Amino acid sequence: MAAIRKRKGKYEVQIRRKGFSPISRTFHNYADAQEWARHMEVQADRGELPSPIKKLDSYTVKDILQRYKDEVSAKKRSYYSEKYALDHLMQQSFANKTLAEITATKICDYRDARLKVVKAGTVRRDLAILRHAFDIAEREWGIPIRENPLKKLARIKPQAGRKRRLAPEEYEAIKKAAIDCKNKCLPDLIDFAIATGMRRGEMLRLKLSDIDFKAKTLHIPVTKNGHSRTIPLSGQAIEILEGRRKYADTNKGLVFPTSCNAVQLAWQRLIKRADIKDLHFHDLRHEAISRFFERGLAVPEVALISGHRDFRMLFRYTHLKPEDIAEKLG
């Protein structure tokens, strides 16, 4: 609350709020003192008073990121990939700064240096995690952060979606290199990804009980966007699943009993042996969806399989050619 007292012919206003350092100011006029007191009380109600330096000095950015990793990120389906981003952020020099020392300039220096090493999309995701960690610390953990330093940074524009297709000769090279693959799930995972368009995480969570062999359908209860879906299966997909039955019977029903990290490492080794450049495992999903369109499936049908909620997101998979449309027009 604000307290006004007359002292040596002047009016001294003092503002005290729990969790904040006391603020005082002196005025010659009582009306001015009252007006300033009301203004500061409104700021106090909004939580806009300057934070005590001592309290901010007791936390480092690394402390915030570690707690975010343990309490927030660990509950996300994207924890596998997000924890690596958090570990990377905690190794940066700015992570050792206290909350009283951290500034937008220090984050800018990290951003600019990082953009020289990795793609803009990676930096954009890292900064989004950092921004959310500061927001959670202020809103839910009661840490009096004066201002989220990420708010002053210009947002990095999202990259255009990848349009990488798998050439026939590349597929043959992958199949040949897969013979020496130590991860015995990977060859079937590759073919199943191309046959269904499923994401890596969706395939690795797949259980035998999710499959209806009679109806030729597969239920995906947990997806990236939070909406479950049931997809139709091609003859090739059914054939792969039939061959995986014996593995599922001995691995708690999991059709592909391996981890995301194991698949990623095996994929990198496979691509190196096959001498293929710039091909991500996720590009197999793009290849699958593109093939669906080439088979003549309509946008709603492809969306049913892929799980896209916004049909506009599917436009980059159609690969329409003006000359083909001109031929149809006659």
Same domain, 298 and 203: yes
Which amino acid belongs to residue 179?
A: I
Residue 136: the pLDDT is 92
Does residue 89 sit in helix, strand or coil?
helix
Position 81 in a domain: yes
Closest CA to 47 of 144, 172, 130: 144
Residue 308: the pLDDT is 82
Position 162 in a domain: no
Same domain, 42 and 94: no
Same domain, 21 and 85: no
Same domain, 116 and 20: no
User: Over the range 196-225, which residues count as b (16 or more CB within 10 Å of their CB) and which as e?
Assistant: bbbbbbbbbbbebebbeeeeeebebeebee
Same domain, 68 and 26: no
Residue 61: the pLDDT is 92
d(CA 251, CA 151): 47
Same domain, 127 and 173: no
Same domain, 80 and 129: yes
Max Cα-Cα span within the chain: 96
Same domain, 38 and 69: no
Closest CA to 196 of 44, 321, 307: 307
User: In CATH, what number is assigned to the domain containing residue 101?
Assistant: 1.10.150
Same domain, 203 and 86: no
Same domain, 45 and 78: no
Residue 46: the pLDDT is 65
Same domain, 181 and 246: yes
Position 304 in a domain: yes
> How many separate domains does the chain show?
3
Which of 152, 184, 205 terminates a domain? The answer is: 152
d(CA 283, CA 273): 18
- Complete DSSP assignment for 146-174: SS-GGGGSPPPPPPPPP-----HHHHHHH
Same domain, 125 and 189: no
SS (H, E, C) 248-276: HHCCCCECCCCCHHHHHHHHHHHHHHHCC
Which of 152, 186, 211 terminates a domain? The answer is: 152
Position 159 in a domain: no
Q: Which residues pair with residue 231 across a beta bridge?
A: 218
> Catalytic amino acids?
199, 224, 282, 285, 308, 317
d(CA 268, CA 181): 11
What does each of the 330 residues of the chain score in pLDDT, given as a tens digit? 677 888 888 888 887 765 566 677 888 888 888 887 888 777 666 656 555 556 677 789 999 999 999 999 988 877 777 888 999 999 999 999 988 888 888 999 999 999 999 888 889 999 999 999 999 998 888 887 767 888 888 887 766 667 788 899 999 999 999 888 889 899 999 999 999 999 999 999 999 999 999 999 999 987 776 778 999 999 999 999 999 988 877 788 899 999 988 999 999 999 999 999 989 999 999 999 989 988 888 888 888 898 887 777 777 766 655 665 566 565
Q: Which two tokens stand for residue 268?
A: 């990198």
Residue 218: the pLDDT is 94
Instruction: Please report which residue ranges of the chain form alpha helices under DSSP H.
Output: 30-45, 53-56, 61-71, 79-90, 104-114, 120-139, 168-177, 186-196, 200-204, 235-249, 260-274, 283-294, 299-306, 322-329
Domain that holds residue 46: 2-50
Position 195 in a domain: yes
Instruction: Write phi, then psi, for 97 (nearest 5 degrees).
Output: -75, 145
Closest CA to 174 of 197, 161, 191, 196: 191
Position 56 in a domain: no
Look at the pTM and tell me if it is higher than 0.85: no
d(CA 94, CA 150): 13
Which amino acid belongs to residue 69?
A: K
Position 140 in a domain: yes
Position 197 in a domain: yes
Element (H, E) at 10: strand 10-15
d(CA 2, CA 44): 10
d(CA 99, CA 146): 9
